[in-house]
Structure 1
Amino acid sequence: MQIQINTHNPDRLIDFYKAIETSSAKMLEAARLSDWDGVARYEGTCAVLIEQLRHQARNEQLAPEQRKEKARIMQRILRNDAQIRVLAEPWIAQFEHLFDGQPQVMH
């Protein structure tokens, strides 16, 4: 999945937040379908967007009205994340059960 951010747009920082929210919503939909590979793909997309946002935010700031929008977007992302965690808990528990009693080796 590729999300385009217009680098010539004065609203590019808020566009990053919106793109992260979109990817978060797609992660949630994948989790609802038990598509854990899809969840991982969208999580990877989020990670890339977050890194790009961090880089861009060093040089730009959000306007006051954009900070309010950012707060609303972040609340939706956090709600999505919470729902994804609820959906993933049984899968994670099942996965961890496979390793019960197995020696853990860290690389």
Structure 2
Amino acid sequence: MDLVQYVQDQYTTKNEFPDFAAGDTITVYYKITEGNKERIQFFRGVVLQRRGSGSTETFTIRKMSGNVGVERIFPLNMPALDKIEINKRGKVRRARIFYQRELTGKAARIKERRM
């Protein structure tokens, strides 16, 4: 085992989050510090991708804010992440659904996966 992998395994905090994949609609709750006050804000959207592995894993979420698409990349082991809720499971065939960026309205809908 190389030294970098050993240090990452020993000293990074492992957050317990539910399993989610591209196409799922999730809500991410994260802490924001403003001065000496701290509050929790949420970001709800569709997961476009998950990339990386171990302590460097990240995921990208896209939501529509009015008529503008907003994307945000979250590291999975970010200490400010409070919790992740899965709102809907999406049925997609790809691991990275960047084609969602060009779609609007009814064409941008994702079928729900039955559980």
With a CA cutoff of 8 Å and minimum separation of 6, indicate the structure with the bigger relative contact order. Answer: 1
Higher strand share: 2
Question: What's the TM-score bracket when you normalise by the shorter of the two chains?
Answer: under 0.3
Higher helix share: 1
TM-score of the superposed pair, with normalisation by structure 1? 0.24
Larger radius of gyration: 1
TM-score of the superposed pair, with normalisation by structure 2? 0.23
